Structure 1
């Protein structure tokens, strides 16, 4: 019962956070405040009423149109809300009622925002990435203290520096191939992955390049991209990190079992 309540509560929280992330994804790349002014229709300028700001449900009741001018409201809004809810529920089911659940819920929210922004404008804004160092570090310190696992915190520090250095070296070695936004994000992800385990860090780091390479080859195969086509790498870093957390330990155990057999 407790696990069901936790997952259900996380899903509900995800719906609310997803609604806010829609604001973040639109405003942060444009240098606008995410607090004010209140949300308004981009076509007629009318403020969105509170009753029309209920995640997913309002979009369905309005049939995807503005109440005042009938302009279409992109389906991406409810999809982001639903996607965040599913991601939060999955994170809660994976982590369980632990002290480190908050940090991974935070990272799930940041992942949604950064992935969409990177796809839209090919940029990972400092306004999101830099504060994440403080938030993630603070939450991990609290988790280590409450769980009595200071060794995990040491791993987190080493992981943050290690992944940052690797990405920085790639950015210097191949200017234009790796953005500095990716480098900054690498430090945050390295911190969270290594706190969980070295296996999560190793698999998460490798999976990012594997996913990026597979998608890149697929796009070139269908002639949707060429060798010189710029591709946002942030989404692959975030997806790779998720894989590292979920399957990192069993993957490394399987690999070592095969290699040492």
Structure 2
């Protein structure tokens, strides 16, 4: 199974190169067929054998002699290695068809990381369907009994998706508010955006996730009817959240832990709804005015990638992934500063590293932590 998974990974890795190149450019991933990006000559079957074609052609196009980036065979080799590793760590005899979900996750993480490294963006066409696939495979986990191997059930995957997106979204909301020096947004989104997500956070903290989502949708409807942005001040929503947490810590309300969980889940749900809406809209024209945007502490693509990881791994292992991502970002960030005097990678690749570590060692790390606490 490891050998078969590795061979499959080489083939999927070849297709991953197509995704890495075409998704950021919003090109069709099926048509036209694979071709040289320099001379546009369509590639034949012998040009597309993973790794071996690159070696046989000595890294050059057969038709025009243009160099072929070494990254193409490296992506194929990495995908093959990750697929084989998953087949060893999660044998088919233990997880059954749920192994396919882990292979899909490896591809999503690798493709997202490479695109983020290239463009500092992560396409919605990768993350939003990826989160839905995570939920679908969670249903399969229940049917195959893979939950006993540490893979999440559907309720755990749904919770992981919402809380995963919610954690990073709330960091973005609060961090961006600080970067703006607690001033209100100058460029609120219409009809749904950060203000509606922040409203969901506050309402969700007190009323639960679905009341938070309902509040965000109600605010969106008001914007649509008014045909303009009816502002929801951050001082009310984010400031109100901080006050609510302070009040809950004294024992008032639903309790601090439940309030935080509900706020995060509502935040994640509203953020994914907003992301799905903007995914369906045409890309806004580039006005050339880089100042026509509010300061942002974190990319929205990272929020949706966190939803993918939470859906595939569940809430507890997502926390492990996040901690590892922060540590990896700190260590590798220092290395990059020493070499290039700048941090060239955004948070997406670090999240992918954290997800892989959590998948391989998450259960052991959680158990070790709980034992240390005596729980």
Q: Give the structure-2-normalised TM-score.
A: 0.63
Whole-angstrom CA distance in 2 between matches of 1:28 and 1:223: 28
Indicate the residue corresponding to 1:168 in structure 2: 169
What displacement does 1:213 show?
A: 1.5
What displacement does 1:112 show?
A: 1.2
What displacement does 1:258 show?
A: 3.5
Bigger Cα displacement from structure 2, 120-129 vs 151-160: 151-160
Whole-angstrom CA distance in 1 between matches of 2:147 and 2:59: 48
Whole-angstrom CA distance in 2 between matches of 1:260 and 1:206: 21
Whole-angstrom CA distance in 1 between matches of 2:147 and 2:361: 21
What displacement does 1:69 show?
A: 1.3
What displacement does 1:39 show?
A: 1.2
* Contact persistence 1:193–1:204 (CA under 8 A): no
Deviations 1:156-210 (A, max 9, x none): 121211111111101111232211111111111112111xx73x23311211111
1:12 paired to 2:132: no
Coordinate RMSD, CA, aligned: 2.0
Rg (Cα) greater in structure: 2
Indicate the residue corresponding to 1:183 in structure 2: 303
Deviations 1:2-44 (A, max 9, x none): xxxx100000000000000111100110010110001111222
1:244 paired to 2:358: yes
Whole-angstrom CA distance in 2 between matches of 1:190 and 1:183: 11
Q: How many residues align?
A: 250
Indicate the residue corresponding to 1:143 in structure 2: 141
What displacement does 1:223 show?
A: 5.1
Q: How does 1:28-177 map to 2 (within 5 A)?
A: 28-97=23-92, 98-99=95-96, 100-147=98-145, 152-175=153-176, 176-177=296-297
Specify every segment of 5 or more residues in structure 1 that has no aligned partner in the other structure, as ranges.
1-5
Bigger Cα displacement from structure 2, 29-38 vs 204-213: 204-213
Aligned CA distance change for structure 1 residues 149 and 259 (closer, same or farther; 3 Å): closer
Aligned CA distance change for structure 1 residues 139 and 152 (closer, same or farther; 3 Å): closer
Indicate the residue corresponding to 2:18 in structure 1: 23
Whole-angstrom CA distance in 1 between matches of 2:128 and 2:368: 36
> Tell me, what secondary structure is at the counterpart of 1:174?
helix
> Tell me, what secondary structure is at the counterpart of 1:71?
coil
**Which of 184, 194, 212 is matched with 2:329 structurally?**
212
What displacement does 1:148 show?
A: 8.0
User: Using CA pairs below 8 Å that are at least 6 residues apart, which structure has the higher relative contact order?
Assistant: 2
What displacement does 1:107 show?
A: 0.5
Indicate the residue corresponding to 1:3 in structure 2: none
Aligned CA distance change for structure 1 residues 96 and 32 (closer, same or farther; 3 Å): same
Indicate the residue corresponding to 2:349 in structure 1: 235
Q: Give the structure-1-normalised TM-score.
A: 0.89
